[in-house]
Amino acid sequence: MIADLGFAAFAERNSPRYTLYAAARLSAGVRTSAVVEATLTSARARWEWLMCQPCPAAEVWEELRQQVERQSERSAPQNPVLAVLYQRLPNAVCADSWVLCRLLGFPVAEAAELMGAEPSVVEAALAAARRTLPQLVDAEAPLRHP
């Protein structure tokens, strides 16, 4: 019962933010809710195991990222800048940090919480993105500001 409540709270808190991320990365024709539902279904099935991990949020974020990657391979990206980011940046953490903080307007601390990372990791990833692709990284204004 307590595990069910814990999962419900986790899903309620993160589902809207996961949906924003998936919508930013996937083409307009893709049902982002299905990607988020698949991620949360997987997390629910593994909830007890996740609670034993050092950072459950990081595990679920990785699942979401993989779900989005699989779906994006089947369709054209909504934003071609994002395709370049995910191809040319050193790793997915850099690209995800940019999407969350620069495109969607999440504060560094919130992006870090969502990805299950320390804020310093997100800050370093944003710095790496700026160094790698300075012409693209600051070109986008946030779509939302919390």
DSSP string, 69-98: HHHHHTS--S-HHHHHHHHHSSSHHHHHHH
The reported pLDDT for the residue numbered 21 is 96
The structural domain count of the chain equals 2
Residue-wise pLDDT for 69-115, tens only, equals 998 877 766 677 888 889 999 999 999 999 999 999 999 999 999 99
Is the pLDDT at 144 greater than 80, yes or no?
no
Domain residue limits at 43? 1-77
Q: Which of the listed residues 50, 77, 104 is the one where a domain comes to its end?
A: 77
pLDDT for residue 146: 45
In this prediction, residues 122-146 reach a mean pLDDT of: 75
Calpha distance 31→10 (Å, rounded): 21
Q: DSSP code of 144?
A: -
Question: Among the three residues 35, 56, 77, which one is the final residue of a domain in this structure?
Answer: 77
The pTM (predicted TM-score) of the whole model is: 0.89
Please identify, among 18, 53, 77, the residue that sits at the C-terminal boundary of a domain: 77
Phi-psi region of 116 (alpha: psi -120 to 50; beta: other; left: phi over 0): left
What DSSP designation does 101 have? I
- Cα separation, 114 vs 111, in Å, equals 5
Residue 137 pLDDT more than 60?
no
